[in-house]
Structure 1
Amino acid sequence: DEHGQKVLRTAQAHGVAPQDWADRLVATAWEPVLKVIDVANDDFIRTTQSRHTTRVQAFLQSLYDSGEVYQGQYEGPYCVGCEEYKLPDDLVDGTGEHAGQRCCPIHLTPVEMLVETNYFFALSRYAERLIAHYEAHPSAVEPASARNEVMSFLRSGVKDLSISRSTFDWGVKVPWDPSHVVYVWFDALLNYATAVGLGDTDGPGKEQFDATFPADVHLVGKDILRFHAVIWPAMLMAAGLPLPRQVFAHGWLLVGGEKMSKSRLTGISPDSIVDHFGSDAFRYYFMRAISFGQDGSFSWEDMSARYNSELANGLGNLASRVTAMTNRYFDGVLPPAVDGSAEEAIHDIAAAAAAGADAAIDSLDFSSSLASAWTLVEALNGYLTEQEPWQVAKAMDQDPAARERVATVLATAAEGLRVVAVLLNPVMPKACAALWHMLGADAALGALGDQRVQTAGQWGQLPAGVSLTKGDALFPRLVDEDAAKGQN
């Protein structure tokens, strides 16, 4: 999303052209952070790319030709940071240096009063259709608080949307009037469709569009909910295109009760967190500690506590104990199990954990999905504590029953760890890949990425005879000083 007045002014403040500024941000900020937190994206579309701009112009021209776009005049308060006209009732009173001024509720900076002759999209035509759609499909906007906000906005009276600007030239040119550029949000929303071939009538673009559009889920910040749940579906309705199945609005990360902000220097760099805890722990913490869809706060102390108790002492220690004892007592070769009631209880917990994790993922409840997986981690740790295979092993040489019991306990724990690796892999790929290898599962069952959460709970997939190896600690325990270093 590289167009608009905000990008233009920032580039001018840095003494560079807006395209150069956008190139710099992509190269030094956006793409590197994906690598830091191990995010793999299928594509990286930029709104300055010709594959996007030409399709935006074609889409807009079609709406203009069909009477969905007209020329008019607009006057109202505008936030450059949001690239959005604000409703007067949404504004807040400024404080400090902005005292006496009306400010954006998100950026807390003064709005500008703009009067422009622009082109408008007939958004108001679609308010009733959108209300009917969301009444018929309540899960189309989640969570419930977001849906209520959207419905309240639609029922309060929707005005037509100004979709062009003539006071600056950094944007996609309006095809029938090059003195105007397309409003940045109208332009940017279309990249969900232009990236997969919007408007292509044949060839790879049409094939990709037919196979992938519309989206199953749009994950968006709650501050841009109206764009995605009002403007975007109205644009699609106007063009006769299908709507996304769901828009899910996630919350904010808070510092001191306020949204993290780069402009106010209240953000925490992902690099700083990953440098001290690793990318897997970063991903785990923000998926587990904060309910998706709600606001949440980050603290170094809480992350350090969760890292040590849940990752280092919980999962990491479990994997180390199972692989170490298998190597000590069975030369690293997984023995067969003779199941009893204790083992059958673990089977049931594993099946329930997999089913619960899968259902929670489907509803985008990532915290509950991880909590389901963690019931198995805790059960396996409790199982080892109760069965005490290290104590029973003392009689292995003289008592075949003792040997059989130790074999059963370790085989059960290893199979349980197989389930855990599959359930946690989407969130902690590095640690789970290491665990998969430690279990010998890659040789016996194939690549971890090919395993399905839906079938992970089916017991007995890791066969006896595979070789378990002792690897490095999945999550080395950190002392309090380590977290303090990261915080500083």
Structure 2
Amino acid sequence: MTTPFYITTAINYPNGRPHIGHAYEAICADVIARFQRAQGRRVRFQTGTDEHGLKMMRKAREQGVTPAALADEMSSHFRHMADALHISYDRFIRTVEPAHHAASAALWEAMKASGDLYLGRYEGWYSVRDEAFYDETELRESPDGGRLSPLGTPVEWTVEESWFFRLSRFAEPLLKLYEERPDFIEPAARRNEMVAFVRQGLRDLSVSRTSFDWGVKVPGAPDHVMYVWVDALTNYITGLGYPEPTEEMRDFWPADLHLIGKDIVRFHAVYWPAFLMSAKLPLPRKVFGHGFVLNQGEKESKSLGNVTDPLDLAERYGVDALRYFLMREIPFGQDGSWSHQAIVTRANAELSNSYGNLVQRVLGFIARNLDGTVARVTELQEADAALLNRVRSACLAELPEQWNRLALNAGLDAWMKAVYAANAYVDEQAPWALRKTDPERMATVLAVLCNVIEMLTSAIQPVIPASARKVLHMLEPDHGDLGTKSAKRGAALRYTVRDVQPLFPRLADPTAEPEGC
């Protein structure tokens, strides 16, 4: 049986339409999921929407609709985004599902059975935008003399009856977890932040609200709804069938990777493992907090009017070009910037001029001069073997090693160097000249290049899945009884080139003056 791999994104809060940050996280997770599938693992990939809480209730009231109607409408935008960006999720979960309410109630009962829930009264600061409670010491002053959360969002003084979770009990168990499993939180900077946060002491956490009713009802206390983060975090096991002892729960829990934004690491690396410890459930293997996608160096914000619709970018530049840019441009785990100029420059230089041009000129030449058929050869010259070894190393060793470490852009750097090497080989060998002087040598060079293109394409497929499928269709490798994963097994017995077409048309420079001006 293949080794299971369970990856999740944070479920998106749909009080607004998807922005570039939502797209970035979904694409990152999709690349990892597709890569793990290509390695032969049995992958489960879950994403979805987190639809309860005060923000959603207030947004619905502003629009004159019910929270349920708003949730239905807004969740559909996130599902559409995922589908449009070719996100290969296995489960799109919504927290309004009855099964999710049942799972949240079961987790609550398990924590209560452990003695970790008690009824009390909450007085303190609450950020509606963050859906988070903050201690006085965490707040900062706003320009008008008010109070702001650590993330710069407004906070409100809240007083109400509340159920509390005994988070204070879990400081030592959490610190022990971080020490014994240093890779539980990545990157290291996020881990250090959480260690420092827990070391300063943990206060019990308010985990229910009575001031609104849009959420999961607390078992036995129907006038309370669960704190939205108790409800939201439970989605990771809801999707596997919890609390039932399902096959999915047995095979895929604990999760291998919770992929989230750096602004919600506390909820996933402090609260979530504490909830799971209390409920006596296994802990996830890794929480990875990626950085923000900045708009020309600035964080996107509705107030600044610079929020980007990722589907507009995908329509303008192509889905695969957008996916490639985000994976290549941003060091995984750090903040990174996008701009129209940066997308065009990267796509033209690497996808169009380098990889796309390699595929187009090699396969086009074969279609014109060899009736579209190239057979495997065994007599290789030193230059042939050197290129094959270089590409094998990049595609079968360096890229997988980097991606297993979640260094996504570093893996693409190794891949891109192999593309450059292949283009240099084409220029050096000049098959167009060999056609007249040494047709046999020409056939060998083209067979080598077909094998190289196949390896490069198989390796990059998680990033540009639609374009990679087109290349493999144009190339049509025949592996006989060796199966289809030729990148691990060597050259195909034969390649049949057909339907050659351009892959990545050059994108227009967004800074150029329109024609006629």
Question: Would you say 1:265 and 2:305 are equivalent positions?
Answer: yes
What one-letter code is carried by the residue in structure 1 that aligns with 2:58?
R
Partner of residue 275, structure 2? 235
Partner of residue 370, structure 1? 412
Matching of residues 45-444 of structure 1 within 5 Å: 45-95=93-143, 99-106=144-151, 108-201=152-245, 206-255=246-295, 257-262=297-302, 264-337=304-377, 338-353=379-394, 354-395=396-437, 402-441=438-477, 444=479
Secondary structure of the 1:129 match is helix
Pick which of 265-274 and 1-10 moved more: 265-274
CA shift, 1:255, in A, is: 2.5
Compared CA separation, residues 446 and 147, structure 1 to 2 (3 A): farther
CA shift, 1:392, in A, is: 2.0
Compared CA separation, residues 246 and 50, structure 1 to 2 (3 A): same
Compared CA separation, residues 256 and 469, structure 1 to 2 (3 A): closer
Pick which of 244-253 and 32-41 moved more: 32-41
Secondary structure of the 1:480 match is coil
Find 2:68's aligned residue among 16, 19, 32: 19
Secondary structure of the 1:259 match is coil
Task: Verify the 8 A CA contact 2:297 2:336 in the aligned structure 1.
Answer: no
Secondary structure of the 2:241 match is coil
What one-letter code is carried by the residue in structure 1 that aligns with 2:369?
Y
What is the distance in 2 between the residues matched to 1:295 and 1:244? 24
Secondary structure of the 1:315 match is helix
Task: Verify the 8 A CA contact 1:139 1:246 in the aligned structure 2.
Answer: yes
CA shift, 1:74, in A, is: 2.2
Task: Verify the 8 A CA contact 1:36 1:270 in the aligned structure 2.
Answer: no
What is the distance in 2 between the residues matched to 1:38 and 1:104? 36
Compared CA separation, residues 451 and 122, structure 1 to 2 (3 A): farther
Secondary structure of the 2:93 match is coil
Partner of residue 9, structure 2? none
Partner of residue 399, structure 1? none
CA shift, 1:21, in A, is: 0.5
What is the distance in 2 between the residues matched to 1:25 and 1:445? 48
Task: Verify the 8 A CA contact 2:129 2:154 in the aligned structure 1.
Answer: no
Q: Which runs of 5+ in 1 are unaligned?
A: 396-401
Task: Verify the 8 A CA contact 1:324 1:470 in the aligned structure 2.
Answer: no
The number of residue pairs the alignment matches comes to 463
What TM-score do you get using the length of structure 1 for normalisation? 0.91
Partner of residue 398, structure 1? none
CA shift, 1:387, in A, is: 1.0
Compared CA separation, residues 260 and 445, structure 1 to 2 (3 A): farther
CA shift, 1:372, in A, is: 1.8
Task: Verify the 8 A CA contact 2:114 2:279 in the aligned structure 1.
Answer: no
Task: Verify the 8 A CA contact 2:364 2:500 in the aligned structure 1.
Answer: no
What one-letter code is carried by the residue in structure 2 that aligns with 1:43?
R
Compared CA separation, residues 451 and 52, structure 1 to 2 (3 A): farther
Pick which of 215-224 and 267-276 moved more: 267-276
What TM-score do you get using the length of structure 2 for normalisation? 0.86
Task: Verify the 8 A CA contact 1:78 1:85 in the aligned structure 2.
Answer: yes
Q: Which runs of 5+ in 2 are unaligned?
A: 1-49
Partner of residue 509, structure 2? 480
Any idea what the Cα deviations from partners look like across 1:434-476, whole Å, max 9, x if unmatched? 00011112x54799xx955xx725432x223x31124221101
Any idea what the Cα deviations from partners look like across 1:157-178, whole Å, max 9, x if unmatched? 1111110001111111111111
CA shift, 1:262, in A, is: 4.3
Identity %: 40
Secondary structure of the 1:85 match is strand
What is the distance in 1 between the residues matched to 2:84 and 2:153? 31
Any idea what the Cα deviations from partners look like across 1:229-279, whole Å, max 9, x if unmatched? 000011111111111110000000112544223465322111111112111
Find 2:493's aligned residue among 463, 466, 482: 463
What is the distance in 2 between the residues matched to 1:58 and 1:336? 59
What is the distance in 1 between the residues matched to 2:303 and 2:256? 33
Task: Verify the 8 A CA contact 1:141 1:147 in the aligned structure 2.
Answer: yes
Compared CA separation, residues 83 and 446, structure 1 to 2 (3 A): farther
Structure number with larger C-alpha Rg: 1
Secondary structure of the 2:374 match is coil
Secondary structure of the 1:149 match is helix
Compared CA separation, residues 484 and 266, structure 1 to 2 (3 A): farther
What is the distance in 1 between the residues matched to 2:472 and 2:481? 10
What one-letter code is carried by the residue in structure 2 that aligns with 1:272?
D
Partner of residue 30, structure 2? none
What one-letter code is carried by the residue in structure 2 that aligns with 1:114?
T
What is the distance in 1 between the residues matched to 2:104 and 2:376? 61
What is the distance in 1 between the residues matched to 2:319 and 2:66? 34
Secondary structure of the 2:450 match is helix
What is the distance in 2 between the residues matched to 1:261 and 1:140? 31
Any idea what the Cα deviations from partners look like across 1:55-108, whole Å, max 9, x if unmatched? 21122122223311011222221110010012334333323xxx22112343x4
What one-letter code is carried by the residue in structure 1 that aligns with 2:429?
Q
Compared CA separation, residues 11 and 263, structure 1 to 2 (3 A): farther
Compared CA separation, residues 88 and 258, structure 1 to 2 (3 A): farther
For the aligned residue pairs, the C-alpha RMSD in angstroms reads 2.0
CA shift, 1:197, in A, is: 1.2
Higher helix share: 1
